[in-house]
């Protein structure tokens, strides 16, 4: 997979995506991760990429010129399956969509900044808009890092134990069950005996029951009516 990110502040992404699972996936050739600095296409002595909004109001807007020039250049080199704009008014990110995106070959993430990007760019280039929550960040870089991490970690081979990713919260529309490790007894609290039984079927049933109960308690909105 090629996963490219167009950013105003690339430094926010470079360190984050060089470590842990994303860093290993890049080193192993599971993903081509490229961070593009929008300011390289800025204009004038100060490499300007923004301007005041028409109609007045506070803040600045990322301008059409630098963005279109950069996007055209990238699209000449790569045929993107999705060009995604990270925006607080986009579709809220869900695991189902992460799974779908992980099957694509080429994805470009576009990070907004300031008051966002000129609407004409959104209308002309963007194929999908995604939000990571109902709140506003200083820029789209952190949201892009979240989405990139979510996609990369479920790519085949990115995690040594691929079954681990399949049992994450939200993969089956349920929260994950509680997990335990050594020691067997900690400060008087014991690991549930079922997990020590060696009975794989019983353990699987227990984990499913725990997932359903935890979801009912913490995220009932995730459950289908018949599961409530």
pLDDT of residue 213: 96
Range of the domain at 213: 167-227
Same domain for 65 and 128, yes or no, is yes
Same domain, 93 and 201: no
**What residues contact residue 152 under an 8 Å CB cut-off, 6+ apart?**
3, 21, 22, 25, 30, 31, 33, 158
State residue 228's pLDDT score: 52
In a domain, 159, yes or no: no
User: Are the beta carbons of 169 and 94 closer than 8 angstroms?
Assistant: no
pLDDT tens-digit series, residues 103-143 = 999 999 999 998 999 999 999 999 999 999 999 999 999 99
Mark which of 93, 117, 152 sits at the end of a domain.
152
Query: What average pLDDT score do residues 161-190 get?
Result: 78
Answer for the pair 111, 6: CB distance below 8 angstroms, yes or no.
yes
Assess if residue 161 is contained within a domain: no
Average pLDDT estimate for 91-96: 95
**CATH number of the domain where residue 183 is located:** 1.10.1270.20
Domain count within the chain: 2
Q: Are residues 59 and 130 in the same domain?
A: yes
Residue 173: its pLDDT value, please?
80
Specify if 158 maps to a domain. no
Whether 115 and 197 share a structural domain: no
- How sure is the predictor about 172, in pLDDT bands with cuts at 50, 70 and 90? confident
> Is 142 in the same domain as 223?
no
Q: Are 109 and 71 in contact (CB under 8 A)?
A: no
125 with 215, same domain: the answer is: no
- Mean pLDDT across the stretch 72-87? 98
Residue 155 has pLDDT above 70, yes or no: yes
Tens digit of each residue's pLDDT (9 = 90 or more) over 8-25:
999 999 888 888 999 999
Q: Is the domain of 129 the same as that of 179?
A: no
Range 175-190 average pLDDT: 94
The closest of 97, 43, 41 to 67, measured between CA atoms, is 41
Query: Per residue, what are the HEC states of the chain?
Result: CEEEEEECCCHHHHCHHHCHHHHHHHHCCCCEEEEEEHHHHCECCCCECEECCCCCCCCCEECHHHHHHHHHHHHHHCCCCEEEEEEEEEEECCHHHHHHHCCCCEEEEEECECCCECHHHHHHHCCEEEECCCCCCCECHHHHHHHHHHHHCCCCCCCCCHHHHHCCCCCCCCCCCCCCCCCCEECCEECCHHHHCCCHHHHHHHHHHHHHHHHHHHCHHHCCHHHC
| Amino acid 39: pLDDT | 96
Is the whole-model pTM more than 0.85? yes
Q: For position 227, what pLDDT does the model report?
A: 57
């Amino acid at each position: 997979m090629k996963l490219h990110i167009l950013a105003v502040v690339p430094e926010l992404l470079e360190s984050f995506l060089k470590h842990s699972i994303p860093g290993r996936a890049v080193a192993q050739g599971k993903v081509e991760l490229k961070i593009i600095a929008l300011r390289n296409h800025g204009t004038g002595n100060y490499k300007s990429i923004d301007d005041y909004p028409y109609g007045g109001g506070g803040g600045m807007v990322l301008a059409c010129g630098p963005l279109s020039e950069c996007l055209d250049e990238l699209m000449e080199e790569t045929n993107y399956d999705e060009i995604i704009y990270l925006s607080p008014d986009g579709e809220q990110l869900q695991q189902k969509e992460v799974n779908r995106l992980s099957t694509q070959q080429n994805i470009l993430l576009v990070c907004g900044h300031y008051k966002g990007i000129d609407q004409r760019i959104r209308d002309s280039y963007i194929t999908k808009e995604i939000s990571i929550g109902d709140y506003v960040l200083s820029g789209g870089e952190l949201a892009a890092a979240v989405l990139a991490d979510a996609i990369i970690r479920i790519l085949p081979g990115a995690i040594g134990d691929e079954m681990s990713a399949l049992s994450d919260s939200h993969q089956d529309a349920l929260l994950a069950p509680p997990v335990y490790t050594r020691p067997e007894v900690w400060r008087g609290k014991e690991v549930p005996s079922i997990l020590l039984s060696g009975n794989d079927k019983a353990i699987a049933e227990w984990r499913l029951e725990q997932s359903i109960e935890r979801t009912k308690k913490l995220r009932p909105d995730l459950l289908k009516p018949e599961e409530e």
